[in-house]
Structure 1
Amino acid sequence: MGRNDLLIRTFLSPDEVLEQYLQYKAGHTTKYKSWIPNNLVGVILYLYNKLPTRICPLYAGYKQFVYLSRGNIRHFLELCHQSVTKTNITSPLPPKTIPSMTIEAQLEATLKTSELEIEKIGDFGAHGMHLKRVAKRLGAIFNYCQSRRSQSESEVNHFTLDLTDINLLAYNVKEILNESLVWSVLIEQKGTKSKSTDNLELNDYVLHPVLAPYFGISHRKKKKIKFSKGEVETIFVGSDEDFSSLLKKYGARWDIDDSSFDVSSSVTSYQLGLL
């Protein structure tokens, strides 16, 4: 699975990938060992996003539920509740017996919980519908990014600002950004290292992990995207037409084949607006 992803990249020859793989299988120190954790999850997400009737198995399991909840007990309880609801228990259980949850039930639970949480955003304070739109637009960009065949920058689920001072943002953008932090639609964290040294790195803004199954993106904080002032303003307060143009620009930059990217079944088709 991971090898197919590596073979698409222009800077790696098939012979080099094969040689690294054989060395890895022989127990030698090789680049292939680092390629596995850096590429496997992204490739699995890529494949399952091509199968809209299947839910990615990466979201199942106790540890994943904890990660998806991100310290929010309400999210965790909802995931557990949905797992029990989705489990088909046909006969009474003995006293004090806790049934095991099937992988399928857990996966259905993660998607259902994620769908419920995205809908709840609209009720968050005075700017709830704007926050919901921002979440859907960010999710659409991250999902679009995940559709790149090369997976050279996979698992993108957070962003930073290409600015030296956040106060350079327009007032209405800062207002929505602050509200998204208050309601935990976004989680602010200290900025991680960036490949660019042009600007002072500001904080990272992570889309809440509980929303990841809804968008088919990673729930792990791995890769980020850097937005310019204009791009952030388009995402946070721009019109649907402006955002659609921004999405197309990213598609051209990432060399995404529109014919292979099924917009009709993707989050990009129905999550650009407020509703």
Structure 2
Amino acid sequence: MKFTKIHSLGNDFLVVEKQEVPPKIELSPLVRTICERHTGVGADGFLLIDVKDPDQGLVNFSIFNADGTEPEISGNGLRCAAAYLHYRQSVKPTQLHFQTHAGNRESLLQERNKRYFRIRIEMGEPLFDSAKIPFDDGSEHEKIIDYPLTINQKIYHITALSLGNPHCAIFFDRFPSRIEWHQIGREIELHPFFPKKTNIEFIRVLNRDEIEVLFWERGVGETLSSGSGSCAAAVASILKNLTNKEITVRTSMGELLVEWKKGVVYQTGPAEVVFSGDFALD
């Protein structure tokens, strides 16, 4: 099975075209095996793409986390998929249209330098209603901002939303230790108030144009960056009137630009092709 490894600010994915996967193979065990960093190729996620119309740039997109679960969408995953298609010259236009489990999403190639790509991704309109996130504490909420969530006898004021996948944002003046925020991330990811689990963003506001974010991703754990997580962190910051509507998100590996314009969220950032290979299937 031929694959290509691509990363966006350290958030790495294995991109595979649909025709490479035998029709009867179980995808979840395959994903767990190939994404394992010690005995497989190693990655945060697995992207399965199928070009439906190369002239129009129409592409079916599915993503799997390293644990074999299938989330709805990934901003960095979309950018890596777009980079792969432009790298392979599998599509003609610079603007691509992806069909995801969260709906249609567009990408726009802004720059290319050999294996490096800069791509803008449309992430859609954020959802705030508790039923659509989903978030269920037994009550209905139009928005969840600074909700007091108890974890291990401590109260964390969370802001929750969906960008096609659930997110939980927590703000700090100073980040907790790595061990501590990992523990908080695990507890919130599996909290019963999030019936589909959740991604968690730990946010430090630097000024009205910049935030710094640490990421705990559902089904993965700590990641060096996250596209949808960066967007969720930006939207949460804007909702709380802590930042402007166009901000730079600093991650452990670099920066993303996030914009919230006319109700739609966009994120712009890099993707880089690492290598290609052939994974032996049983």
- Whether TM-score is above 0.5 comes out as no
TM-score using structure 2 length: 0.28
Higher normalized helix content (fraction of residues): 1
